[in-house]
Amino acid sequence: MDTFVIDGGRRLSGRVRINGSKNAALPILAAALLTTEPVTIHDVPALDDIANMIRLLAQLGCGQVAQGAEDSAGVIRLQTTDESISHAPYEIVRTMRASICTLGPLLAKRGYARVSLPGGCSIGERPVDLHLRGLRALGAEITLEAGDIIARVPAGGLKGTTIFLGGANGSTVLGTTNVMCAASLAKGTTIIECAACEPEVVDLAKLLIKMGAKISGAGSPRIVIEGVTQLGGATYVVMPDRIEAGTFMIAAAITNGDMILDNCPTDAMLAPIYWLEAAGVHVQQVAPLAATIANTLPAGRPRGGSSLSLSSGSTSTNGSVGGGGSGGGGAGGGDDPLRRCVRVTTERVLKSVDVTTQPHPGFPTDLQAQFMALLCLADGNSVVTERIFQDRFLHVAELSRMGAKLVRQGSTVIITGVRNLVGAPVMASDLRASAGLVLAGLAAEGTTCVNRVYHLDRGYERMEERLRSLGASIARVDEKELAAKNIAAVS
Ligand code: EPZ
C-alpha cells in the first residue's frame, strides 16, 4: 500500500485543469446498458472506481469497443453486445458501492437484474431502500436473496407512476439515477418527487436525452419522464468534477497560495464558493487562455477539442463568482458556467464560519472533510455539522493528531482555529477524509505521512503529480519502503 509523504508549508501556485466528474461518469457509463448501440463518453477520469465500473460493465456484456487512434485518454466507447448476464457480483459491488447504479438500467433494458446489496462503508450505513421503493413503484418485483437484490419486470412491463423518493436524510443521488433510467423505458409518465438535484443527476439526464429519453425537470426536486420504447447510442462529455475543484480551491487557500483552475464547474459550486468566500478565500473568474491551458493538460492525456469548451475571448475579465464582489462577468463569448476558469487567492487570515452539509444546492458532504481541514487554521471558532452521513468524521481524530483543536458532539464538530498544524503520520479511511488529510499536510509544519492512499486514488487522478506541479513537496512511497527507511533512520 502507498503512502503520501508531504513536506508542508509551501504556497501552491500555478494552473491545474479539473478532470471530468467521477460521480457523474459512474451512472453515465452504466447508462450504456440501456441500449445496444455504441455510447461514447469523453473526459472520463482515470480512477480506480471508473476502472471497476468498466470491469463490471464488461462482465454484464457491455464492453469497450476498439478505441479509435484519434481517441485521446479519457474517451470511453462502450457497446452492449451480450445481454445474457445481468448479475453484478458481491466481489465488485463491495469494492465500489456505486455499482448499484447498474440496477435501474439492467432492469429496464433486460427485464431482470441481480445486484449485490452494497452494504455499509466507513462513512456510515449506505441503505438502498429508496432505490427499491422507486423501482417497486414502477412495477418491479424485487426480492432479497443471500445478500443480492433480485429484480424482475412483470409481464406488462414497467409502468410510469408518481413516486415520492425522499428518505429520512432527504433525497438520494444514485436512487434518483436508478429510477430515472428505469422510468425512461417504462410505459407512460413518471414523476419523481423529492428527486436529488445534484449536478451529476442533471449530467446523466442530458446524456439520456441525447439517447432519446424524454426527461424534464432534472436539477429540480421534481423530474418528469415520458417513457419511450427504446434508447439509442450517443456521444457525451462528462461535466467537470465539482468536488475535485473544491479540493484544489481549498489546497490553494490552506497554503495561502494563488492558483488558477481551468474547466471549473462554478455554476455547480455556488454553496462551497459562498462559504469559501465567507472564510476569506477569493474565487474570481478569469479568461481561459487556450494556449496556456494546452500546456497544463495532464501529461500524456491530450484532449479532443470537445472535452474543453473554451470561450474564444482572451480579454481578462475579473468578476467574483461567489458572494460579494462585482457580478461574475463572462470571459468573452461561449462562457460555459460549468467550464469556467477561476483564480483562487486568500486573505492572509482566514475567518471562522459555521457550515452544515445538505443535499444540493446546499454545501456538499463530499467537501466537508476538506473544508474542516481549512477551518482548523481559521481565526476563531467554527462549527461543521454533517447531515448526510452520520459517521463521516473519521478525519477528526487524524486532524487532531496534527494539532487541530476539534471537539465532536454527535453530528457536529466544533473547531478552534490554531496558528499552525504539525506534520504527523495519519491514516486515510475514506476518499474524502484522505483528501482532507492531504490538504492539512500541505499546510502543516514538518512532514506528514498519509497512509493507505488507495482511498484517494478512487477519486483523484494522480493527485500527488498535480499537486507537485503546483509547488507542493509530495511523494508517493510504498509503505514497506518507508518503514524500512524509518527503521534505518532510528537504528
Ligand atoms: C452519492 O452517493 C455520491 N456517490 C457520494 O459521493 C455522495 O456523498 C452522496 O451521493 C451524497 O451527495 C456517487 O455519486 C457515486 P445518497 P449515494 O443516496 O447516491 C440515505 C464520494 O465521496 N439513503 O444520495 O450513494 C443515505 O444513507 C461519494 O464521491 C437512504 O436512506 O448517496 C444518506 O444519508 C461518497 N436510502 C443520504 O440518503 C437509500 O436508499 C444520501 O445518500 C439511499 C440513500
Please indicate, yes or no, whether residues 322 and 425 belong to a single structural domain of this protein.
Answer: yes
Please indicate, yes or no, whether residues 188 and 249 belong to a single structural domain of this protein.
Answer: no
Number of domains in the chain: 2
CA dihedral 399, 403, 405, 410 (to 10 degrees): 30
* Helix pair angle (431-443, 394-401), 10° resolution: 20
Distance CA 6, CA 4 (A): 6
Please indicate, yes or no, whether residues 305 and 350 belong to a single structural domain of this protein.
Answer: yes
Last residue of a domain, one of 237, 268, 289: 237
Q: Looking at the DSSP assignment, which residues form a beta bridge with residue 346?
A: 281
H or E segment and range at residue 448: strand 447-451
Distance CA 355, CA 371 (A): 9
Most ligand 1 atoms within 8 A of CB, residue of 180, 192, 388 to mutate: 388
Residue 251 DSSP symbol: H
- Tally of CB atoms within 10 A around 264: 31
Please indicate, yes or no, whether residues 195 and 286 belong to a single structural domain of this protein.
Answer: no
Cell readout for 208 is: 439520456
Q: Is the CB of 389 under 6 A from ligand 1?
A: yes
* Helix pair angle (270-278, 242-254), 10° resolution: 10
> Would you state the pLDDT for residue 70?
66
Task: Verify whether residue 121 is a known catalytic residue.
Answer: yes
Ligand 1 centroid from CA 451, angstroms: 25
| Number of residues written out for the chain | 491
Q: Chain-centre distance of CA 55, in angstroms?
A: 19
Q: Please state, in angstroms and as integers, the Cα–Cα distance from residue 149 to each residue in 103, 115, 256, following that order.
A: 9, 5, 49
Distance CA 127, CA 351 (A): 37
Q: Closest Cα to atom 18, ligand 1: which residue?
A: 172
Last residue of a domain, one of 237, 267, 292: 237
Q: Domain holding 55: CATH number?
A: 3.65.10.10
Q: Is the CB of 430 under 6 A from ligand 1?
A: no
Q: Is the CB of 459 under 6 A from ligand 1?
A: yes
Please indicate, yes or no, whether residues 214 and 263 belong to a single structural domain of this protein.
Answer: no
Residue 432 CA, closest ligand 1 atom number: 22
Contact in structure between 302 and 397 (CB atoms under 8 Å): no
Most ligand 1 atoms within 8 A of CB, residue of 174, 356, 358, 434 to mutate: 174
SS3 state at 15: strand
Residue of 121, 194, 376, 449 marked catalytic: 121
The dihedral through the CA atoms of 330, 331, 332, 337 has a sign that is negative
> Would you state the pLDDT for residue 121?
72
Please indicate, yes or no, whether residues 52 and 9 belong to a single structural domain of this protein.
Answer: no
Most ligand 1 atoms within 8 A of CB, residue of 173, 200, 395 to mutate: 173
SS3 state at 364: coil
Ligand 1 centroid from CA 331, angstroms: 35
> Would you state the pLDDT for residue 268?
98
Distance CA 159, CA 145 (A): 25
Please indicate, yes or no, whether residues 111 and 141 belong to a single structural domain of this protein.
Answer: yes
Please indicate, yes or no, whether residues 195 and 177 belong to a single structural domain of this protein.
Answer: yes
Per-residue pLDDT of the chain (491 residues; tens, 9 = 90+): 899 999 999 999 999 999 999 999 999 999 999 999 999 999 999 999 999 999 999 999 999 997 776 677 899 999 999 999 999 988 888 888 899 999 999 999 999 999 999 876 777 778 899 999 999 999 999 999 999 999 999 999 999 999 999 999 899 999 999 999 999 999 999 999 999 999 999 999 999 999 999 999 999 999 999 999 999 999 999 999 999 999 999 999 999 999 999 999 999 999 999 999 999 999 999 988 764 444 444 443 433 332 222 223 333 333 444 433 333 333 334 689 999 999 999 987 999 999 999 999 999 999 999 999 999 999 999 999 999 998 899 999 999 999 999 999 999 999 999 999 999 999 988 899 999 999 999 999 999 999 999 999 999 999 999 999 999 999 999 988 777 777 666 66
Q: Is the CB of 165 under 6 A from ligand 1?
A: no
Q: Is the CB of 174 under 6 A from ligand 1?
A: yes
Q: Closest Cα to atom 6, ligand 1: which residue?
A: 366
Q: Looking at the DSSP assignment, which residues form a beta bridge with residue 226?
A: 189, 214
Cell readout for 240 is: 467537470
Q: With DSSP H G I counted as helix, E B as strand and the rest as coil, what are the percentages for the chain, rounded to 5?
A: 35, 25, 40
Please indicate, yes or no, whether residues 185 and 319 belong to a single structural domain of this protein.
Answer: no
Ligand 1 centroid from CA 171, angstroms: 9
Q: Is the CB of 362 under 6 A from ligand 1?
A: no
Q: Is the CB of 77 under 6 A from ligand 1?
A: no
Please indicate, yes or no, whether residues 27 and 149 belong to a single structural domain of this protein.
Answer: yes
Cell readout for 232 is: 439509442
Distance CA 185, CA 103 (A): 14
Q: Is the CB of 388 under 6 A from ligand 1?
A: yes
Please indicate, yes or no, whether residues 355 and 332 belong to a single structural domain of this protein.
Answer: yes
DSSP string, 342-393: EEEEE-SSPBP-EEEB-STTSB-GGGHHHHHHHHTTSBSEEEEE--S-TT--
Residue 390 CA, closest ligand 1 atom number: 34
H or E segment and range at residue 485: helix 479-490
List of residues 6+ apart from 2 with CB closer than 8 A:
452, 453, 454, 476, 477, 478, 479
Q: Which domain holds residue 85?
A: 22-237
pTM for the full predicted model: 0.91
Please indicate, yes or no, whether residues 119 and 159 belong to a single structural domain of this protein.
Answer: yes
Last residue of a domain, one of 203, 237, 271: 237
